[in-house]
Structure 1
Amino acid sequence: MSKVSAIICITLIASMAIQPSEAGVGQWIVGAAVGVTTVAIAPAALGFGALGIASGSIGAAMMSASAIANGGGVLTGGVVATLQSVGVAGASYATYAKAAAAGGAATDYLFED
């Protein structure tokens, strides 16, 4: 199964796992898709990629600020390290599932009648 197919399946499963309001199922699925898409493209948009952090990007500024704040090093497991890891290897299926659930629930909450 390709990663895209798996992400679509995760989005649909997550949409069934949480009970959206009756009128908002379509909105919930759209929110879930937005959540998954955000996790997939945000690191690259910030400059975190397979070849490292792009020079002059927001990611570079984040790394610089993190290094200055931590005495010259970037914290293991911190935001910058996590975004770089996702930029190189992609997120885990569990992360995509959480993003789908969060996006769907947020949309359901924001647009509930």
Structure 2
Amino acid sequence: MIPSVSIDGVPDPLPEGLAVLDVREDVEWEHGHIDGAVHIPLMDLPHRLDEVPSGQVLVVCKVGGRSGQAVGYLSQQGIDVVNLDGGMVDWAAAGRSMVSETGQPPTVV
């Protein structure tokens, strides 16, 4: 069982001590992401484990599939992780804050 939470279960603003790991691809990240999140694409995760934040980590992707895979893997490594069910699509739909690297308003692609 993958530990998961819906957007309704994620405090706004995020509490101190809760880190965010975004496992989407570079182009998705550039268009819109959670400010302060750590970006490690899913396929890079095994080689970049040392970059995963310590403490409890909320893992996000577009809708929750890739982040679910990441949570399964990371929990096997002993990391305290939870999947955001609905991912960045639900994050944006809930009106949560996002930033962009494109110079355009943030969006989920």
Q: TM-score, normalised by structure 1?
A: 0.27
Name the structure where strand makes up a greater proportion of residues: 2
Bigger relative contact order (CA 8 A; separation at least 6) = 1
